[in-house]
Amino acid sequence: MREPLSGVQITKVAKRYGSERALAGVTLELASRSMCALLGHNGAGKTTLLGILSTLVRPNDGKVIYRAGTAEVTGIAVRREIGMLAHASLCYGELTARENLELFAKLYELDPGRAAIDAVLDRVGLEPRARDRASRTYSRGMVQRLALARALLTAPSLLLLDEPFTGLDRGGALALGTELGKLRDGGAIVVVVTHDLEAIAGRTDHVAILRRGQLVFEERGSYDYERLKDVYHQHAN
């Protein structure tokens, strides 16, 4: 029943918030087995573009087409494939880690059994002692692990990450980077918005830079930290 997404075509997408221009005609193609780094200064439109990709922001103009193989996918079938990891955890603080994952497993019509949930929590390394405690008592790092578990639980084929490294220590950020690399190799489309170039260096193979709502640079290739820094400073300003 699931149709993993194989590509996303963004065509001339524009978005305004009242008088504020957030995006002005962005065209971008995303492919599976690829990690796209969406870079730019604050207010460049990165989060808006991510919002549009996640179907939670409606563009005023232009369109986004999601494809699974050759077929176009829309609506609930698209949302089924999206995994989101943001600065906020998207989990309920009053519920425990297990209860949070059970809830989302049910909403996604997945197996909410104890074994399935423990498997995901093992994968992100959330210690067993903490799993039955309300998640508001967690440390920042544990919350981020839970958020990652929530995203991994549904095995998404389009992963949208909005500043996922903020608040993590260096080790945590690098571990998350590794996990994202694995997902990409598994065939997912990964889009990451971040200021932390170090965490994505060596993993990203597609760089798109936004400035004042416009796409000013786009290139596919391999990027180490130095190269990322170079293109960023050259084009974001």
Partner 1 sequence: MSEATTKPSYAVPVFAALSAIGFAITIWLVFTYTPLAQDLFFNQKIFYYHVAHAFMMFAAVALCGVSSIAFLKFRKPKWDDIALASAEVAVALGAVVLITGSIWGKAAWDVWWTWEKRLTMSLLLWLTLVAYVIVRRFAGSSADRMAAGLAVFGTVALPFIYFMVDRSDRHPQAGVAAALEPKMKLVFWLSVATFLCWFLALVIARIQSARAERELRELRERGLDTGVLT
Partner 2 sequence: MSLFRQAGRVAWKDLRIELRSREIVYTMAFFAALIVVVFSFAFPRDIRIVRGAAPGMLWVAIAFAGTIGLGRAFDRERENDTMRALLLAPIPRLAVFLGKAIAIAVLVLVVAAVGTPLLALFLGAPLFENPLPLVISLVLGAIGFASVGSVFAATLLKVRSRDVLLPVVLYPLLIPLFVAGTSATEALIAERVNLDAAWYWISFLGIYDAAFLVVSIWTFESLVIE
Residues that bind partner 2 (CB under 8 A): 17, 51, 54-58, 76-77, 79-80, 82, 84, 86, 88-95, 103-104, 106-109, 134, 150
| Residue 212 interacting with partner 1 (CB under 8 A) | yes
**Residues 6 or more apart whose Cβ sits within 8 Å of residue 30:** 7, 8, 9, 10, 36, 189, 191, 206
What separation in angstroms does the CA of 19 have from each of 14, 24, 80? 13, 13, 33
Binding residues with partner 1: total (CB under 8 A)? 11
Q: For strand 158-162 and strand 82-85, is the pairing parallel, antiparallel, or unpaired? A: parallel
Residue 62 token pair: 């232009």
Partner from partner 1, partner 2, none binding residue 95, C-beta < 5-8 Å depending on class: partner 2
Partner from partner 2, partner 1, none binding residue 49, C-beta < 5-8 Å depending on class: none
Task: Please tell me whether residue 217 adopts helix, strand or coil conformation.
Answer: strand
CA distance 131 to 118: 9
Measured from the CB atom, the residue of 12 and 140 that comes closer to partner 1 is 12
Measured from the CB atom, the residue of 36 and 147 that comes closer to partner 2 is 147
Q: Which region, judged by CB under 8 A, interacts with partner 1, from 19-27, 38-46, 85-93, 112-120?
A: 19-27
Helix residue ranges per DSSP H, 154-190: 170-185
| Residue 16 interacting with partner 1 (CB under 8 A) | yes
Positions in 61-120 near partner 1 (CB under 8 A):
none
Partner from partner 1, partner 2, none binding residue 60, C-beta < 5-8 Å depending on class: partner 1
Helices 97-107 and 114-124, interaxial angle, to 10°?
Answer: 120
- Chain residues binding partner 1 by CB under 8 A are 16-21, 24, 58, 60, 212, 214
